[in-house]
Amino acid sequence: MSDLPREMEEEVLSRLPVTSLRDLRSTCKTWNTLTKSESFLNRHVFEEEEEAPAKKKRRKLVMMQEHRVYLMNVDLLYPSIERIGNLNADGIDISNIFHCDGLFLCTTKDTRLVVWNPYLGQTRWIEPRTSYHRWDRYALGHEKKKRHKVLRFVNDYDPSVKHRVCEFEIFSLDSNSWRVIDDDLTPDCTVSFLHRGLSLKGNTYWYAQEKLDLNGPPEIKELPDFLLCFDFTTERFGPRLPLPFNAFFGDIVTLSSVGEEQLAVLLQRCTSPAFTVNIWITSKIEPNAVSWRNVFLSVDMKPLIGTLFSMFGGSFFVDEEKKVAVVLDKDRAKSFPPTRNIACIIGNNGYFKQVDLGESIGKWCYSIVCPYVPSSLQITRQLEEHTP
Q: Which of 385, 377, 319, 387 is nearest to 353 (CA)?
A: 319
What are 45-67's pLDDT values in tens digits?
A: 655 555 544 455 578 899 999 88
pTM score, two decimals? 0.84
Residue 2 lies in a domain: yes
> What DSSP designation does 296 have?
S
Query: Residues 252, 341: one domain?
Result: yes
| pLDDT score, position 213 | 60
Query: Residues 176, 267: one domain?
Result: yes
Q: Which of 259, 260, 198, 184 is nearest to 227 (CA)?
A: 198
Query: Residues 245, 124: one domain?
Result: yes
Report the half-sphere exposure of 334 (CA within 13 A, side-chain side): 9
CB-CB contact of 113 with 126 (8 Å): yes
Residues 6+ apart with CB under 8 A from 307: 301, 332, 333
Sign of CA dihedral 176, 92, 118, 111: negative
Residue 383 lies in a domain: no
| pLDDT score, position 370 | 92
CB-CB contact of 82 with 52 (8 Å): no
Report how far apart, in Å, the C-alpha atoms of 89 and of each of 19, 59, 92, 158, 371 are.
10, 22, 8, 35, 19
Residue 384 lies in a domain: no
Report how far apart, in Å, the C-alpha atoms of 28 and of each of 1, 38, 293 are.
12, 19, 51
| pLDDT score, position 367 | 92
Query: Residues 176, 34: one domain?
Result: no
Neighbours of 315 (CB within 10 A): 23
Query: Residues 88, 22: one domain?
Result: no
| pLDDT score, position 345 | 95
Query: Residues 102, 166: one domain?
Result: yes
CB-CB contact of 261 with 324 (8 Å): no
Q: Which of 266, 244, 364, 242 is nearest to 317 (CA)?
A: 266
Query: Distance between CA atoms of 278 and 253, rounded to whole angstroms?
Result: 10
Sort strands 103-108 and 236-237 into parallel, antiparallel or unpaired. unpaired
Query: Residues 72, 46: one domain?
Result: no
Query: Residues 104, 16: one domain?
Result: no
Residue 357 lies in a domain: yes
Q: Which residues of the chain have pLDDT under 70?
A: 1-5, 19, 42-57, 88-90, 156-164, 183-185, 212-222, 381-388
Query: Residues 45, 55: one domain?
Result: no
Q: Considering its fold, how many domains does the chain have in total? A: 2
Query: Residues 110, 232: one domain?
Result: yes
Q: 3-state SS of the chain: helix, strand, coil percent to 5?
A: 10, 45, 45
Query: Residues 164, 248: one domain?
Result: yes
Radius of gyration of the chain (CA): 21
Residues 6+ apart with CB under 8 A from 14: 40, 43, 44, 46, 47
Report how far apart, in Å, the C-alpha atoms of 84 and of each of 13, 118, 176, 191 are.
18, 14, 34, 35
Please report, for the domain that includes residue 262, its CATH number. 2.120.10.30
Query: Distance between CA atoms of 340 and 329, rounded to whole angstroms?
Result: 9
Q: What is the dihedral of CA 324, 326, 331, 333, to 10 degrees?
A: -30
Residue 244 lies in a domain: yes
| pLDDT score, position 383 | 34
Domain hosting 20: range is 1-50
Query: Residues 29, 61: one domain?
Result: no
Residue 366 lies in a domain: yes
Please report, for the domain that includes residue 15, its CATH number. 1.20.1280
* Identity of residue 361: I
